[in-house]
Amino acid sequence: MFIEPNLSGEKSGWIEVICGSMFSGKTEELIRRLKRVKIANLKVEIFKPSIDTRYDEIRVVSHDSNAILSTPIDNSQTILLMANDVDVVGIDEAQFFDAEIVNVCQTLAQKGIRVIVAGLDMDYLGQPFGPMPSLLAVADYITKLHAICVGCGNIASISYRKTEQSGQILVGEKEMYEPRCRKCAAKGNAILK
């Protein structure tokens, strides 16, 4: 999809991506940024995938129980329909959206909207997750957060799955996942096989 350059002198938007493993504080950082936007009296719309009902069906909720009201949606194109007359769009759990989320974010930024996206950059096997690699490629600003490995205390970059269930998408929290470094994740995967 080609996006026409903004030559009209209107304000320019941008894309910020917050990524990392589970329990690294991605949603916490997203909520922090969005609350600051609200304090500045900017118009904001916040979206999350409808499959993420771990803590709440409508609100984006961090593991530390901080929350902000959002709109659950089934596909990324809905964002373009609902993000009218806004200054900022927040998107949580972007890895669960379809590949079109990348074009949606670019379209919003081209319209002069600040887009703040949070999501897992890697799945439980340490592989790139869904549309996140493409979002990272087009982002103007990237913040990579890290958790602490429960195995050794080093920096954790992998959301280690504690169950033998396969498939890239398995929505869960502390009962199913824990943060691990590469070494501890590899040890755990060897035991599960």
Closest C-alpha to 52, from 29, 83, 74:
74
Residue 71 pairs in a beta bridge with 47
Interatomic CA distance for residues 59 and 74, integer angstroms? 15
3 state DSSP class of 18: strand
Catalytic residue among 16, 29, 45, 93: 93
Residue found under tokens 């949580």: 92
Interatomic CA distance for residues 178 and 161, integer angstroms? 7
Do residues 181 and 55 touch, judged by C-beta distance below 8 A? no
Interatomic CA distance for residues 59 and 70, integer angstroms? 5
Q: Is 100 a residue of the active site?
A: no
Question: How many CB atoms are located within 10 Å of the residue 174 CB?
Answer: 10
Phi, psi of 10 (to 5 degrees): -70, 165
Which are the contacts of 98, defined by CB distance < 8 A and separation ≥ 6? 75, 76, 131
Torsion angle in degrees (nearest 10) through CA of 119, 53, 86, 111: 40
Catalytic residue positions, numbered: 93
